[in-house]
Amino acid sequence: MPEIGQLYGAPMGVIHRGDLQQILLGAVQQSGGRIFTSRTVLGVDEAFYPRVLVRNNKNGKKVWLRADVVIAADGIQSTVRRQIGQMEKGSHHETPVATGDSAYRLLIPRERVQHDAALLAMLDQNVAMRYMGPGGHIMAYPVKQNSLYNIVLLHPTSTDTATETTMDTGGSPWTTQGSRTEMLHFYRNWSPAIRAWLSYADQDLLEWTLQTAAPLPHWARNSVALIGDACHPMLPYVAQGAANAIEDAAVLMTAFTLTSDVILALRVYEAVRKTRAEVIAASASSTGRSLHLPDGSEQHERDEAIRNAGKGLHTGAEDTSDKWRDPSWQDFMWGVDVMRETVENWEALTAMVDDGSFHSASKL
């Protein structure tokens, strides 16, 4: 989609999560930050002062760590999310819910396909491919300077996957050992290119159960706030999870450059980000349905709309359930500079959060 870069002033891009983590690690080290590993977060201060109780998993010792602010970036299974959710009377917002879908995530190294000219050609093209079929879809693209082919395969969760799970520290389903045989069987009638790529997959693979969670009333309390999937868990159907976590961080950084008042900064962050992120997260359900249509009239209409869009044809009755193909939705996702708008609206935002309405719909 090169026209996206021309329209919004920046190209679409993908990055290996390990490379992104390395960039973030380098920034922390350069700024003098300290990173503690082999620790489990057990909770934060009951009054949400900036204190975190952690357990050293090597010796079992528990200690309270103090700071100026606590930002919980620990995903949909977040311990802090549950703690914030439980503050609401009768709230069950903190409990993740299985969607009925799971995902295989594969990384095929270049050396495995070096004798397959067709797959090498795909690996050498900086193109993301999307495949759709009954009950599932696939996103595939090269990463790490075209040395790896990343493939994410969405499909219905099997009974075994739903019951035989690896439990995280919160006691919720997270990953399970995937079945290569089941994977090959489910995609047996899909694109020849996909079947070729899957023939090079590892014998052992993990399967992620996809979960979602209802919006929380608040993301921030006192000097503690949530970020990323901890507050707006995003299913991969619109591929905006990492992008929105980065938007979160950008707004937090901007707020902290405009005020030294931690509580005020966190309230502004929530006011700017909450509605926007939750609307994008909610859009995944309609997109997922469109991508996973069974063969039939709706599927034919969807495919025809895609073909017409590719030819520059518009009938005036395009299916907008697939947010990737909805121009107005593209404007909403990509036509926003959250840092600039935080700066330009700072006075209005601080006035809004000061009168107690910061948890209502974002003005941006």
Domains of the chain: which residue ranges?
1-35, 36-96, 97-212, 234-289+315-364
The pLDDT of residue 57 is above 90: yes
Tell me what the mean pLDDT of segment 268-292 comes to.
Answer: 92
Alpha helices in the chain (DSSP H): 2-8, 17-30, 79-85, 117-124, 159-163, 180-186, 192-198, 241-258, 262-282, 284-291, 297-310, 327-334, 338-344, 346-354
How does pLDDT run across 337-357, given as a tens digit for each residue? 999 999 999 999 999 998 655
Amino acid identity of 23? I
User: What residues pair up with 207 in beta bridges, in sequence order?
Assistant: 104, 176
Cα 223 to Cα 47, 265, 274, 304: the distances in Å are: 9, 9, 17, 51
Tell me what the mean pLDDT of segment 2-22 comes to.
Answer: 87
Whole-number Å distance between alpha carbons of 58 and 221: 31
Tell me what the mean pLDDT of segment 190-207 comes to.
Answer: 95
Question: Binning pLDDT at 50, 70 and 90, where does residue 49 land?
Answer: very high
Tell me what the mean pLDDT of segment 200-215 comes to.
Answer: 92
Question: Regarding beta strands 173-178 and 166-167, do their DSSP bridges make them parallel or antiparallel, or are they unpaired?
Answer: antiparallel
| DSSP string covering 95-140 | --EEEEEEEEEEEEEGGGGTT-HHHHHHHHS---EEEEETTEEEEE
The pLDDT of residue 158 is above 70: yes
Q: Which residue has the higher pLDDT, 304 or 111?
A: 111
* pLDDT for position 60: 97
CATH architecture of residue range(s) 97-212:
2-Layer Sandwich (3.30)
Q: Using only C-alpha atoms, what is the Rg of the chain?
A: 22
pLDDT averaged over the chain? 88
Phi and psi of 62, rounded to 5°? Answer: -115, 135
Phi and psi of 342, rounded to 5°? Answer: -65, -45
Question: Binning pLDDT at 50, 70 and 90, where does residue 362 land?
Answer: very low
Whole-number Å distance between alpha carbons of 147 and 110: 5
* pLDDT for position 159: 62
* pLDDT for position 310: 62
Q: Which of 104, 7, 44 is nearest to 230 (CA)?
A: 44
Residue 341: Cβ-neighbour burial (10 angstroms; 0-12, 13-18, 19+): middle
**Cα distance from N-terminal residue to C-terminal residue, the chain:** 26
* pLDDT for position 284: 84
* pLDDT for position 170: 42
Tell me what the mean pLDDT of segment 198-227 comes to.
Answer: 94
* pLDDT for position 168: 43
Q: CB-based contacts of 190: which residues, under 8 Å, 6+ apart?
A: 131, 133, 138
Angle (CA) 212-214-219 rounded to 5° is 110
Asked whether 123 and 110 are in contact (CB, 8 A), the reply is yes
Q: Which of 278, 263, 267, 174 is nearest to 216 (CA)?
A: 278
Percent of the chain with pLDDT over 90: 70
The pLDDT of residue 173 is above 70: no
Whole-number Å distance between alpha carbons of 98 and 262: 35
Tell me what the mean pLDDT of segment 255-273 comes to.
Answer: 97
Whole-number Å distance between alpha carbons of 100 and 88: 27
* pLDDT for position 9: 87
Whole-number Å distance between alpha carbons of 203 and 8: 41
CB count within 10 Å of CB 191 equals 14
The pLDDT of residue 169 is above 50: no
The pTM of this model reads 0.88
Question: Regarding beta strands 148-156 and 220-221, do their DSSP bridges make them parallel or antiparallel, or are they unpaired?
Answer: unpaired
